[in-house]
Chains A and B, each alone.
Chain A
Amino acid sequence: EVQLVETGGGLIQPGGSLRLSCAASGFTVSRSYMSWVRQVPGKGLEWVSVLYSDENTHYADSVKGRFTISRDNSKNTLYLQMSSLRAEDTAVYFCARVNIGGFGYNCLDYWGQGTLVTVSS
């Protein structure tokens, strides 16, 4: 059974750093495309970042230069290192697996339960 479990959220002051973890089971993270998506409580979904199986990375403009996506193959775990945090980064952060479908029909087929990051003084 595929499972994704995020940890690491919490209250952090503006300008601070935080690292989120996403422990995977039932599949191999290093052979998959993995993504982070965030959601301000009560609002919509925002794509944050993606890590390809070949370790290429991509980021939304809103987090580029401040967030870093990575993985630990030995732990089958995905990470999101967040720095220079701002109030507008406050959100629930979900990790998700990208299903690379034929004809480019991609989707996010498995999601974690999310972890809340609150940036406030």
Chain B
Amino acid sequence: DIQMTQSPSSVSASIGDRVTITCRASQGISSWLAWYQQKPGKAPKVLIYGASRLQSGVPSRFSGSGSGTDFTLTISSLQPEDFATYYCQQTHSFPSLTFGGGTKVEIK
């Protein structure tokens, strides 16, 4: 089974900061990676698929990069509505869809 490891588990940041979240796969998954945002009490929302492809309607301050085993989600300028938990998910071994443990972005 492919394991997904996110770091850090939480990050404190201020409005306007650049935030970077890392996701590492236990084996190569090419670009078969998605990123989700989840706010408390809500369902996750897809931000990025195919490692770097922005889902329709998602602000351009979100970007994804990486391939193989190492991936990054970047928020270029943190906005108040971006405080949430972010999850990566591998789709290489579809239909099995493993998620990372999550990264909580908190207000500094």
Contact = CB atoms under 8 A, between A and B. Distances in A.
Nearest to B43: A111
Interface in A77-106: 94, 96, 99, 101, 103-106
B50 A105 contact: yes
A89 to B, nearest CB: 17
Interface in B68-83: none
Nearest to B44: A111
Given A44-B101, A47-B97, A108 B50 contact: no
Contact of A105 (B43, B53, B102): B53
Contacts of A35: 95, 97
A108 B91 CA distance: 10
Contacts of B87: 44-45
B62 interface: no
Nearest to B38: A45
B99 A103 contact: no
A107 B89 contact: yes
Nearest to B50: A105
A96 B31 CA distance: 21
Given A94-B44, A101-B53, 16 more contacts: A37-B44, A37-B97, A44-B87, A44-B102, A47-B96, A47-B97, A52-B95, A94-B43, A99-B49, A103-B31, A103-B50, A105-B31, A105-B50, A106-B91, A109-B55, A113-B43
Interface of B: 31-32, 34, 36, 38, 42-46, 49-50, 53, 55, 87, 89, 91-92, 94-102
